[in-house]
């Protein structure tokens, strides 16, 4: 026994490069639960449907040949020969309405999880078409929806919490595609916050702690009157600097399990505050939707089980 045991070679320790590659592969290609991606899908579909409804209020003014911004002016302004939009071929008001209606239908199917792969792809094409056709009306909501839709096209976003799953068309088991889609969204979100935070560092008002007051005092944008904070300058300073620290540190602090709950918890007041103070609630909700990619499947299941436990039994009180 001693001789045979001693003949077994000792395991060779892996070098740092091999460990780094193993960690890289595990980060991107380990199977993941598709539940967080499904939650992102539902919220994204609702937000895109809202945008499509706004477009349909006056689709010819947005997209037709005689719209506010004519097609030739779009090409002249952007000077991008590769820029594509199906609205460039929608010369009539009827065609503009029909194509906007296609986007609305795809967004509703995406939220419901019906024919999800097709719905996600058509939703992305509809969003890109609208953004390229009307660049002067494209803002943070449209950019964030694009960031959300790409992973939904890549991953199995209709595997759970969908009509596809009820029809047996989805595979609820953890898979590599779900992980790749979530990682794309997570990394993209970290890049957005890092560049946004570093951009704020170039502004003196952020260093002084007065930047948020500039947003609150802008009566043309605000949804909620928060000008009463003028009597509490230290509160404004604290909120400004906390927002700056959160945005700059997001990319580093959202990954460790110890700091992730705090970072995600701060996302809600930051983005809801932006929505209330600057009248950009849809953008705030879209960014909160992107933050759902960092919420663990266990947390979502605990929330669902809590809601189902608290739901009253219809048979109660009938006796």
Tell me, what DSSP letter sits at residue 231?
G
One domain, residues 161 and 257: no
Whether residues 121 and 41 fall in one domain: yes
∠140-269-161 over CA atoms, to 5°?
70
Residues 37, 150: one domain? yes
**203 lies in some domain:** yes
- Is 15 contained in some domain? no
Do 136 and 236 lie in a common domain? no
Domain that holds residue 122: 33-174
Q: Is residue 280 part of a domain?
A: yes
Residue with tokens 């600097």: 241
Give me the residues of the chain with pLDDT under 70, please.
Answer: 1-14, 79-81, 307-319
Residue 72 lies in a domain: yes
pLDDT on residue 16: 84
Q: Per the domain annotation, does 14 fall within a domain?
A: no
CA distance 61 to 296: 43
Burial pattern 103-135, b for ≥16 Cβ within 10 A else e, equals bbbbbbbbbbbbbbeebbebbbbbbbbbbbbbb
| Domains: count for the chain | 2
pLDDT of residue 170: 81
Structure tokens at 169: 């068309």
Are residue 166 and residue 292 in the same domain, yes or no? no
Average pLDDT value over all residues in the chain: 89
- Model-level pTM? 0.88
């Amino acid at each position: 026994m001693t001789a045979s045991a001693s003949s077994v070679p000792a395991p060779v320790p892996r070098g740092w490069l091999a460990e780094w590659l193993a960690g890289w592969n595990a980060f991107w290609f380990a199977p993941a639960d598709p539940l967080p991606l499904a939650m992102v899908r539902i919220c994204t579909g609702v937000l895109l449907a809202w945008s499509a409804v706004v477009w349909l209020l006056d689709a010819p003014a947005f997209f037709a040949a005689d719209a506010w911004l004519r097609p030739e002016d779009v090409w002249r302004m952007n000077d991008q020969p590769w820029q594509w939009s199906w609205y460039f071929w929608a010369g009539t008001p009827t065609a503009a309405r029909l194509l906007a209606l296609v986007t609305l239908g795809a967004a509703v199917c995406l939220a419901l999880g019906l024919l999800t792969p097709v719905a996600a792809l058509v939703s992305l094409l509809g969003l890109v078409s609208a953004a390229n056709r009307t660049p002067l009306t494209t803002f943070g909501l449209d950019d964030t929806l694009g960031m959300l839709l790409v992973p939904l096209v890549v991953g199995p976003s209709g595997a759970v919490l969908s009509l596809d799953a009820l029809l047996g068309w989805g595979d609820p088991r953890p898979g590599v595609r779900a992980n790749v889609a979530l990682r794309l969204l997570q990394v993209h979100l970290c890049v957005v916050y890092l560049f946004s935070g570093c951009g704020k560092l170039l502004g003196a008002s952020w260093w002084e702690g007065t930047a948020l007051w500039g947003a609150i005092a802008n009566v043309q944008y605000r949804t909620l009157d928060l000008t009463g904070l003028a009597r509490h300058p230290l509160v404004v300073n604290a909120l400004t600097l906390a927002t700056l620290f959160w945005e700059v540190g997001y990319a580093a602090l959202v990954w460790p399990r110890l700091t992730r709950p705090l970072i995600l918890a701060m996302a809600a007041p930051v983005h809801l505050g932006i929505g209330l103070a600057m009248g950009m609630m849809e953008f705030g909700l879209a960014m909160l939707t992107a933050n759902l990619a960092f919420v663990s499947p266990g947390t979502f299941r605990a929330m669902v089980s809590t809601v189902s436990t608290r739901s009253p039994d219809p048979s109660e009180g009938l006796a």
